[in-house]
């Protein structure tokens, strides 16, 4: 059966509009509870959230739906997405639920899930949940209802986990770091992790009010961080997104370091220490420069579809541990089960420390090919991406580029956007082709 509600990263949308409404989320959580309670088992399910105002509303209805299906619930409060994956494993829970829309604005929200191993749900489980959404809700009798409690030390447990992802005795003393928490889920735990490891932390965008998450800050808007690093004469800056599963960095000169470059830095360091387990999985959006730089290090590289679940799938298939996306989703499966921005940042800092190189030098071995990404607001991006006029023009440009570049046009999996990526050796040609494709897509949609 095809999935109606689940996308590449759970269920997401505008708050108050289907499916992100209290009534749907009540039914959704009831269905989740029923799936994990099969066979008369009483499941234990964790719920965490980011800092959006709508999190209060959705947390309460999700708790109610789960309890009504006979599941026990542990509430974590505002926590990064990867923290919920970790805590689901740590508490031997059957599932973890994250209420977050990641890097989207505050008036969006979403629901995503982890299984007992801290992995995204399988297609089969998602289909079971969707099937139950079509059935009448049948609540458990009073004696079989679940219970709910709050885990008060959840943040402290996750801080200790992050610190355990570096070699015991590691000290970040001497590092001066500007930390941008995007007014999101990392605002409490990230400063503690880096400070307790000895770094001097200059904190910014760590005062959430329910409305300011990702608002001109964080990994999707690093301009403020770039300027702040220069002003503070810091060694580097780190910006997280709203739910803490992606990051970008800024070097001492204020230059932006994206996910591809960070993956290269980690891979290069691991290769030098004979810690590299196989190759690297990127995506179709990964810069050609990453592929070439890894090739020079004799590190295999393969591309997955966009989305960390696809990167994760290829890593599992190949028995590899390192992969990610240019946006800053970075997976280190030898350390954790999902993309974790804090853990990934620590891997880069350890590489800097042990190689005695500043961030700029650490990534200098990767020369990025000119790449343009245009996000085009369109009501029906799926239909436009397959329109014959646009497909025909893409084919003409691909023929012109030949082996010198790539074109990728795809609908966003989370927003009403058509993403147009053009990559090549000549920047002016890349810009020209991207602009032409944007104009054609807008003309078709008009």
Residue 32 and residue 98 in one domain: yes
Residue 217 and residue 175 in one domain: yes
Q: Enter the tokens of residue 2.
A: 């095809």
pLDDT at 33 over 70: yes
Q: What is the pLDDT of residue 432?
A: 96
Residue 281 and residue 422 in one domain: no
The residue from 107, 137, 152 where one domain ends is: 152
Residue 404 and residue 287 in one domain: no
- Over residues 85-95, the pLDDT tens digits come to 999 999 999 99
Residue 352 and residue 375 in one domain: no
Establish if 3 belongs to a structural domain. no
The residue from 124, 152, 180 where one domain ends is: 152
* Pair 404, 425: CB distance under 8 Å: yes
Structural domain including 260 reads: 158-362
Instruction: Establish whether 385 is a catalytic residue.
Output: no
Distance CA 420, CA 438 (A): 7
Arithmetic mean of pLDDT, 190-213: 98
* Pair 368, 261: CB distance under 8 Å: yes
- Over residues 56-96, the pLDDT tens digits come to 999 999 999 999 999 999 999 999 999 999 999 999 999 99
Residue 206 and residue 321 in one domain: yes
Quick one: 280 exposed, middle or buried, by C-beta within 10 A (0-12, 13-18, 19+)? buried
Q: What is the tally of structural domains in the chain?
A: 3
CATH code of the domain in which 439 resides: 3.30.310.50
Establish if 403 belongs to a structural domain. yes
Q: What is the pLDDT of residue 1?
A: 45
CATH code of the domain in which 79 resides: 3.40.120.10
Establish if 389 belongs to a structural domain. yes
Greater confidence (38 vs 247) lies with: 247
| Strand partners for 240 | 247
- Over residues 96-142, the pLDDT tens digits come to 999 999 999 999 999 999 999 999 999 999 999 999 999 999 999 99
Structure confidence at residue 2 as a pLDDT band (50, 70, 90): low
Arithmetic mean of pLDDT, 419-429: 94
Residue 319 and residue 175 in one domain: yes
Distances (CA, A) of 194 to 136, 186, 357: 49, 12, 19
* Pair 431, 372: CB distance under 8 Å: yes
Establish if 274 belongs to a structural domain. yes
β-pairing, 280-283 vs 322-324, is parallel
Which of these is catalytic: 29, 102, 385, 412? 102
Establish if 2 belongs to a structural domain. no
The residue from 333, 362, 391 where one domain ends is: 362
């Amino acid at each position: 059966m095809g999935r109606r509600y689940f996308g590449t990263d759970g269920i997401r949308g505008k708050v108050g509009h289907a499916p992100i409404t209290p009534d749907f989320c009540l039914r959704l959580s009831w269905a989740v509870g029923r799936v994990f309670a099969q066979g008369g088992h009483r499941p234990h399910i964790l719920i965490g959230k980011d800092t959006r105002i709508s999190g209060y509303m959705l947390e309460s209805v999700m708790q109610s739906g789960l309890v009504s299906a006979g599941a026990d619930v542990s509430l974590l409060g505002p926590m990064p997405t990867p923290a919920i994956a970790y805590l689901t494993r740590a508490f031997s829970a059957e599932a973890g639920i994250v209420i977050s829309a990641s890097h989207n604005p505050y008036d969006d929200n979403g629901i995503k899930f982890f299984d007992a191993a801290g992995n995204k749900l399988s297609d089969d489980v998602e289909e079971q949940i969707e099937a139950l959404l079509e059935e009448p809700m049948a609540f458990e009798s009073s004696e079989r209802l679940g219970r709910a409690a709050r885990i008060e030390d959840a943040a402290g447990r996750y801080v200790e986990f992050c610190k355990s992802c570096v070699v015991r005795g590691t000290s970040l003393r001497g590092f001066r770091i500007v930390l941008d928490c995007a007014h999101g889920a990392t605002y409490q735990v990230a400063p503690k992790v880096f400070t307790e490891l000895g770094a001097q932390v200059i904190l910014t965008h760590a005062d959430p009010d329910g409305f300011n998450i990702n608002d001109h800050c964080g990994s999707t808007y690093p301009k403020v961080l770039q300027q702040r690093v220069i002003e503070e004469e810091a060694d580097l800056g780190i910006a997280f997104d709203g739910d803490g599963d992606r990051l970008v960095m800024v070097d001492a000169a204020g230059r932006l370091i994206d996910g591809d470059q960070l993956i290269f830095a980690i891979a290069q360091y691991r290769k030098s220490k004979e810690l590299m387990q196989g190759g690297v999985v990127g995506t179709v959006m990964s810069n050609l420069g990453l592929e070439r730089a890894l090739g020079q290090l004799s590190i295999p590289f393969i591309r997955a579809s966009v989305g960390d679940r696809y990167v994760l799938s290829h890593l599992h298939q190949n028995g590899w541990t390192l992969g990610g996306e240019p946006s800053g989703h970075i997976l280190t499966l030898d350390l954790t089960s999902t993309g974790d921005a804090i853990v990934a940042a620590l891997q880069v800092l350890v590489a800097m420390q042990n190689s005695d190189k500043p961030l700029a030098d650490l990534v200098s071995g990767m020369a990025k090919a000119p790449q343009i990404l245009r996000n085009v607001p369109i009501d029906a991006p799926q239909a436009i991406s397959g329109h014959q006029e646009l497909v025909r023009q893409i084919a003409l440009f691909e023929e012109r580029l030949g082996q010198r570049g790539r074109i990728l046009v795809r609908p966003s999996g989370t927003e009403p956007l058509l993403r147009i990526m053009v990559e090549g050796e000549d920047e002016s040609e890349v810009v020209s082709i991207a602009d032409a494709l944007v104009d054609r897509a807008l003309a078709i949609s008009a």
